[in-house]
């Protein structure tokens, strides 16, 4: 082999060993090269998912708007509902009554983001068992309510009733659909009267903004022959809500309770968020 060829061979060999590590680094079996790199969009997905998780945690930790329902005259009934269930016409019933509608009411309230509890006391049943009079209903409820409020706090407390008026005076027709009218009652003989009235007026206004004239307004009660406080001295944010009257149907009541839940959320719960 000539000297020139030897030099060319040696140079080629050296070049091969110099370039080999560079080439080897690009081959598929190289561990580092075969490890896939995360693309920028992967990071964006992870970031978005993290944000959603954080948002979920924040939503769970938000202080919910809490409502307490009670039924002092628990056996008040609606004639059409009693007749449909029992075949009889009655304005008071031990099982088919306003107290038995609590699940429907809670469901409508929950749909509107209201955390709703029921003071599960059948006052009229308790009165009957103890041999007490109808006029003692608020006193019987008072002991249960005051004890419950010692360990529980609420943003709104509603005592649900129905009016004693006939169907034509407790029903509103709007766009071909019937609603049971609502009346809000506040006792005027206690220290929380102005607070209770302010809450009731705000709710009445909001109800009518959703369905015009569905609320008959706020009725203040005082004087001889009435309770005058209705246990509303126990909380500033408490009122009686009369839903329809003796002649309203379940469909009419159901439609109105849906509006009531929406109105509470709009009038009060939105401000708390």
Write out the DSSP string of 180-209: E-EEEEEESSSTTHHHHHHHHHHHHHHHHH
Dist. CA 68–CA 158, nearest whole Å? 6
Distance CA 188, CA 219 (A): 9
Contact 234, 146 (CB under 8 A): yes
**Chain position carrying tokens 């998780």:** 53
The whole-angstrom separation of Cα 204 and Cα 133 is: 32
Look up the pTM and report it. 0.77
pLDDT tens profile 96-118: 999 999 999 999 999 999 999 99
Q: How far apart are CA 154 and CA 63, in angstroms?
A: 11
Task: Check pLDDT > 70 for residue 235.
Answer: yes
Residue 21 has pLDDT above 70, yes or no: no
pLDDT tens-digit map of 28-52: 333 333 333 333 333 333 333 334 3
Tokens 């071909």 correspond to 176
The DSSP secondary-structure symbol of 98 reads: G
Query: What is the structure's pLDDT at 24?
Result: 45
Instruction: Give me the pLDDT at residue 52, please.
Output: 39
pLDDT tier, 226 (very low <50, low <70, confident <90, very high otherwise): confident
pLDDT at 33: 33
pLDDT attached to residue 8: 53
Average pLDDT over residues 196-222: 98
Residue with the bigger pLDDT between 91 and 25: it is: 91
On the question of pLDDT at 214 being above 70, the answer is yes
Q: What angle do CA 61, 67, 70 make, to 5 degrees?
A: 150
| 133-146 confidence digits (pLDDT tens) | 999 999 999 999 99
The per-residue pLDDT for 272 is 72
Instruction: Quickly list DSSP for 147-189.
Output: HHHTT---SEEEEEE--SS-GGGSEEEETTEEEE-EEEEEESS
pLDDT, tens only, 184-201: 999 999 999 999 999 999
Does residue 59 have a pLDDT over 80? no
Is pLDDT above 90 for 18?
Answer: no
């Amino acid at each position: 082999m000539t000297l020139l060829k030897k030099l060319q061979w040696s140079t080629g060999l050296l070049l091969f060993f110099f370039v080999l590590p560079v080439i080897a680094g690009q081959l598929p079996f190289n561990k580092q090269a075969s490890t896939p790199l995360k693309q920028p969009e992967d990071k964006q997905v992870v970031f978005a998912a993290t944000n959603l998780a954080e948002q979920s945690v924040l939503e769970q930790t938000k202080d919910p708007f809490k409502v307490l329902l009670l039924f002092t005259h628990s056996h008040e009934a609606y004639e059409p509902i009693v007749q449909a269930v029992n075949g009889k016409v009655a304005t008071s019933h031990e099982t088919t009554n306003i107290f038995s509608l609590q699940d429907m009411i809670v469901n409508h309230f929950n749909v509107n983001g209201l955390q709703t509890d029921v003071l599960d006391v059948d006052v009229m049943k308790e009165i009957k068992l103890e041999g007490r009079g109808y006029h003692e209903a608020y006193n019987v409820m008072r002991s249960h309510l005051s004890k419950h409020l010692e360990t529980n706090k609420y943003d709104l407390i509603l005592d649900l009733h129905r009016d004693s008026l006939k169907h034509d005076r407790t029903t509103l027709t709007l766009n071909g659909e019937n609603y049971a009218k609502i009346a809000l009652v506040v006792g005027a003989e206690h220290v929380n009267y102005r607070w209770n009235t302010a809450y009731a007026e705000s709710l009445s206004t909001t109800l009518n903004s959703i369905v015009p004239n569905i609320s008959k307004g706020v009725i203040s009660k005082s004087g001889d022959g009435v309770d005058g406080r209705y246990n509303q001295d126990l909380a500033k944010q408490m009122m009686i809500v009369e839903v329809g009257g003796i002649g309203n149907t379940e469909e009419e009541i159901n439609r109105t309770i849906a509006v009531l839940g929406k109105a509470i959320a709009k009038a009060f719960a939105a401000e708390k968020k």
